[in-house]
Structure 1
Amino acid sequence: MTRTGRRPGRRRAGAALALGCLLALVSAACTGGSGGAHGPQDDQAAAEEGPIVVASGLDVTGSGSVRQQLIEEWNRRHAGSKAQQAKLVELPGGADQQRSQLLGALQSGSARYDVVNLDITWIPEFAEAGLIRPLPVDESGPAADDDRDFIRQVHATTVWKGRSYARPFNTDVGLLYYRPDLLTKADIDVDKQPNAHWTWDQLYSSVKTLGLNPVRRDEPAGWTTQLKQYEGLTVNTVEAFADAGVELTDSEGTYSSDAEELKKGLDALLDRVGRGRVQPAALTSDETASLTDFAEGRAVFLRHWPYAYGALGGLMEPGAYSVNRLPGKAVLGGQNLAVTADSPRAESARALITFLTSRESERCLLDAGFAATRASAYGSSTERCWPRVAAALRPAGDAPKAAAPGEGAPKGQGAEARAAYIRTLGAALTEAVQRPRTPYYGAFTQVLQSHVHALLAAERPDTAEAAGALDKALRDVFAGR
């Protein structure tokens, strides 16, 4: 059994550092920073001093920073110990920039992070490079029973080569938002839809009935999504591939597709986002732009993440939007908390992670607009959010409110609609699929985005030619070339 107290993967440190210098895109990342060799006395002193430093991306829910509030709750519970105090460091920029900053900081020792909040796609890369510690193996007992409360598909994102390197913090999954007001005007019956799983054929049929055929960006369309050349395009592509039965890698990150399979996936994607169905602006849209197009009536259907449910409460009237599971396969998103390999406060860091991913904390995350990682959060009898955290949060949608909403707070849809949304979200998470699991994910997603975006932008797209070129590029990527 791997001993969690030692620093794993040090034999790979030289190669990892060289790779990180190429990837980090941050000038300070490979200079060695202020880090250096640490002796036992230095590590002991750092552990006694604290604080436990948590590095994370920005909170996108607009909920009053639930992550910060959870850190403050931990600090209140450990007010008598300076060494047990925790500090949240929020990294600026998008996911790619955050990944580069974390890689550079951990490989060079320029920042002393104890806990890192990693996108689920980064776990294999950081584990393979020896930058995060595997968790202790608990075969039985209360800790193991507690771990089983995590949704199975979500917990699987923490595992690499048979070991778990993190605990699920907040998760994500693609959902289908729609405009019942616009569908009703077209005599499309939507009463049964909240209890049914939409299919793509049903969505296409509704779009045809609506008679929408947009040519310009300001014209209404059947649906919209995120097809800009960034991670949103990768997610949409993987969802289309999964619906077509195309798997790019096995569980160990080995490429398992070919040009013929890729053509099937690209054809499915082109059919899904074909002209006349999708909003023309989708080709340059990210989460914010697609949400705006939907809220302002330029799309009847929208593929988006769970936090959009709360965001729409501040943009639309309660009866003007609803949500369902995404037709076909939906991709998992989210972040996992891991202890860094060089942290001198590993035991305290693990205790903090256990608190941040507890049943009460996960309920706080759900109330704030994130998707919780625990199955119990979606049940009828669950633990409540920590009272002082709940009181500090700005209401997300119509989440339970411990304090009066301030000016500009979302209107929300009421308790019954929110309960239906939570059931929908929980069901979607249990059937979601992962993006490829590979230490080379950063290179993979850039290659996929480049090839797919060029295909979508082409006047006469040739999926056979595109599939051949993509196949060759992916073989190199997944081989680490």
Structure 2
Amino acid sequence: MVRTLTRRARATIGVAVAAAALAACGGSDADGDGGAVRLTISANAVLDGKNTEEAAWIEDWVIPAFEEEQRAAGVEVDVEFEPSGVDDEQFKTRLALDLQAGSGPDIMTLDGIWVGEFAQAGYLEPLPASAQPGGWDGWEQIPEAVQQLAAYDEQLYGIPWGTDGRVLFYNQELFAQAGLPAEWQPTSWAELLDAAEALGELDGVTPIQLNAGTAMGEATTMQGLLPLLAGAGEPIHDGTGWTGASQGLVAALGLYQDVYGGGLGDPVLQQETQGRDRSFQKFADDEIGILVEGDYFWRSVINPEGGTAPMEDRDDTVGWALIPAETPGAGVEGRDFASMSGGSVRAVNPASDQAELAYELLTFMNSAEAITAAAQDSARITAREDVNATVLADDPMLSFIADEVLPLTTFRPPLAEYPQVSVLLQEATGAVAAGDRTPAEAADEYAAGLGEVAGGAG
């Protein structure tokens, strides 16, 4: 019966049927029709819904191409896609329950932040030699910094496939009015503040907006505090423990104080439920001079073609620059600049009955040909340098992220406590931005909370 359905029809049958089959076969098996080996792919993606491009790519490109390749090698494989279109935490919980029960898909797409948590629970295992650097040549195209997206405790548990980066976006027209250069790259926080102060001379312009507070959620941590902390030379977790009320954290919160206490940012905007969206629109309306954001802002927000706050003159008006360290060389590993990245990882289920073939499918899905096919309809940053060089060639901003940001970026620690730690950081930035706490006081309160949720600093 399965073979009489189109792939798109199979994708709409639902997760319940697939889950029942998986519970019986542990993720893969030989089906009853001709002895073909059955493999399953799961992702939080569904046709005409959430992450529809990924779902279409799996259904229309990955599955037929892999089946054809295996057939040419004398192996009959029937690959099935298990679609989903739910909240990420729902997807994570359901996947974890399946893996705990020894079932689940053969190949799964994970948020990189889940890798450590799944590895700690035994739901993932380190890659075999065939998929490790030296065994799979694709790693040569993935920068070492990006490889960390799939790493935990110095082991690789999957292969990263998509990522992003944070930069300073700035309005070149406002810069010109303020007497600032069109090609701008600050090399310290002091130079960043100098530019903001010059923009402060313009009527109706908020010089700089830096995400702060809990209303902004994870955007506060990723686009705000963590890049600054990395620029002060400290990761939020050093592999042995969490950073507490350190000198670097106080310095990063001090920049918030300079921005909001100095009237260079709008502290009220940070407290609004829709504050981040409003900051997007204000930037698009030439009312914000500098905004710290990820490449999503360029691709999906101010994109003149379908953006949520489109800027018709985006390509002529918007500039971008690396986020500077506090001072040159003061960043993590002595770097001059800092950024933060997120992204997704594909991994193999340790309970797979066809693990060797599943790893072949994993590396196939992350090959240059496959990733190029995934990115060709809408340019976005991939983990592979060779693919980025091709698919991003016509987009200078995304090329900048791929070429300049990814080699120096950092990632959130893939630990179960991170979401709670992130909230504590959001609270600290919000208290400073509102003027309720000094940077040192906010850092101390953060450290006290850290002791409750994560056992304190390392």
Please report the TM-score for the alignment, with normalisation by the length of structure 2: 0.74
* 272-281 vs 227-236, greater mean Cα deviation: 272-281
After superposition, where does 1:454-469 map in structure 2 within 5 Å? 454-456=430-432, 458-469=434-445
After superposition, where does 1:366-405 map in structure 2 within 5 Å? 367=376, 368-379=378-389
Counterpart of 1:323?
320
* 233-242 vs 147-156, greater mean Cα deviation: 233-242
Q: Is the CA contact 1:170–1:365 (under 8 Å) kept in the aligned structure 2?
A: no
Q: CA deviation at 1:332?
A: 1.7
Is the aligned partner of 1:255 residue 2:242?
A: yes
Q: CA deviation at 1:69?
A: 2.1
Is the aligned partner of 1:92 residue 2:86?
A: yes
**1:480–1:274 distance in 2 versus 1, CA, 3 Å:** closer
Deviations 1:390-438 (A, max 9, x none): xxxxxxxxx67xxxxxxxxxxxxxx4xx246414532111111222343
Within 1, Cα distance between the matches of 2:430 and 2:200? Answer: 28
2:349 to 334, 337, 340: 340
Is the aligned partner of 1:245 residue 2:233?
A: yes
Is the aligned partner of 1:210 residue 2:199?
A: yes
Counterpart of 1:124?
116
**1:293–1:160 distance in 2 versus 1, CA, 3 Å:** same
Q: Is the CA contact 1:55–1:113 (under 8 Å) kept in the aligned structure 2?
A: no
Counterpart of 2:206?
221
1:422 to 387, 393, 399: 399
1:75 to 63, 72, 87: 63
Q: CA deviation at 1:41?
A: 12
Deviations 1:423-462 (A, max 9, x none): 453211111122234343233323433x325514644323
Q: CA deviation at 1:176?
A: 1.8
Aligned letter for 2:44? S
Within 1, Cα distance between the matches of 2:146 and 2:321? Answer: 20
- For the residue of structure 2 that corresponds to 1:282, the secondary structure is helix
Aligned letter for 1:307? Y
1:232 to 219, 227, 233: 219
Within 2, Cα distance between the matches of 1:286 and 1:444? Answer: 22
Aligned letter for 1:321? V
Q: Is the CA contact 2:346–2:362 (under 8 Å) kept in the aligned structure 1?
A: yes
Aligned letter for 2:211? Q
Counterpart of 1:24?
none
Counterpart of 2:422?
445
Counterpart of 1:159?
151
1:353 to 358, 362, 374: 362
Q: Is the CA contact 1:447–1:473 (under 8 Å) kept in the aligned structure 2?
A: yes
Counterpart of 1:136?
128
- For the residue of structure 2 that corresponds to 1:85, the secondary structure is strand
Within 1, Cα distance between the matches of 2:429 and 2:293? Answer: 19
Q: Is the CA contact 1:332–1:434 (under 8 Å) kept in the aligned structure 2?
A: yes
* 365-374 vs 233-242, greater mean Cα deviation: 365-374
2:139 to 147, 169, 172: 147
Within 2, Cα distance between the matches of 1:70 and 1:42? Answer: 17
Within 2, Cα distance between the matches of 1:42 and 1:302? Answer: 47
Aligned letter for 2:236? L
Aligned letter for 1:263? V
Is the aligned partner of 1:313 residue 2:303?
A: yes
Q: Is the CA contact 1:51–1:83 (under 8 Å) kept in the aligned structure 2?
A: yes
**1:224–1:463 distance in 2 versus 1, CA, 3 Å:** closer
Within 2, Cα distance between the matches of 1:334 and 1:115? Answer: 17
Deviations 1:266-318 (A, max 9, x none): 32343345452224423445764433332122312222222332332321123
Aligned letter for 1:299? I
Counterpart of 1:200?
189
Aligned letter for 1:354? T
Q: CA deviation at 1:163?
A: 2.0
Q: Is the CA contact 1:246–1:265 (under 8 Å) kept in the aligned structure 2?
A: no
Aligned letter for 1:189? P
Within 2, Cα distance between the matches of 1:276 and 1:68? Answer: 47
After superposition, where does 1:99-118 map in structure 2 within 5 Å? 99-107=92-100, 112-118=104-110
Q: Which runs of 5+ in 1 are unaligned?
A: 1-32, 386-398, 401-414
Q: Is the CA contact 1:135–1:166 (under 8 Å) kept in the aligned structure 2?
A: yes
**1:106–1:249 distance in 2 versus 1, CA, 3 Å:** same
Q: Is the CA contact 2:432–2:438 (under 8 Å) kept in the aligned structure 1?
A: no
Counterpart of 1:471?
447
Counterpart of 2:15?
none
The percentage of counterpart residues that share the same residue type is 21
1:176 to 161, 168, 177: 168
**1:45–1:363 distance in 2 versus 1, CA, 3 Å:** closer
Within 1, Cα distance between the matches of 2:219 and 2:439? Answer: 20
Q: Which runs of 5+ in 2 are unaligned?
A: 1-18, 305-309, 326-337
Counterpart of 1:293?
282
* 357-366 vs 421-430, greater mean Cα deviation: 357-366
Within 1, Cα distance between the matches of 2:77 and 2:456? Answer: 41
Within 2, Cα distance between the matches of 1:455 and 1:41? Answer: 48
Within 2, Cα distance between the matches of 1:286 and 1:97? Answer: 26
Within 2, Cα distance between the matches of 1:38 and 1:421? Answer: 44
- For the residue of structure 1 that corresponds to 2:83, the secondary structure is strand
- For the residue of structure 2 that corresponds to 1:189, the secondary structure is coil
- For the residue of structure 2 that corresponds to 1:250, the secondary structure is coil
Q: CA deviation at 1:221?
A: 0.9
Q: Is the CA contact 2:225–2:429 (under 8 Å) kept in the aligned structure 1?
A: no
Counterpart of 1:277?
264
Counterpart of 2:291?
302
Q: Is the CA contact 1:212–1:276 (under 8 Å) kept in the aligned structure 2?
A: no
Deviations 1:332-377 (A, max 9, x none): 2111111223344534433332222212333455552321212323
RMSD between superposed Cα atoms in Å? 3.8
**1:230–1:370 distance in 2 versus 1, CA, 3 Å:** same
Q: Is the CA contact 2:150–2:158 (under 8 Å) kept in the aligned structure 1?
A: yes
After superposition, where does 1:11-50 map in structure 2 within 5 Å? 43-45=29-31, 50=38
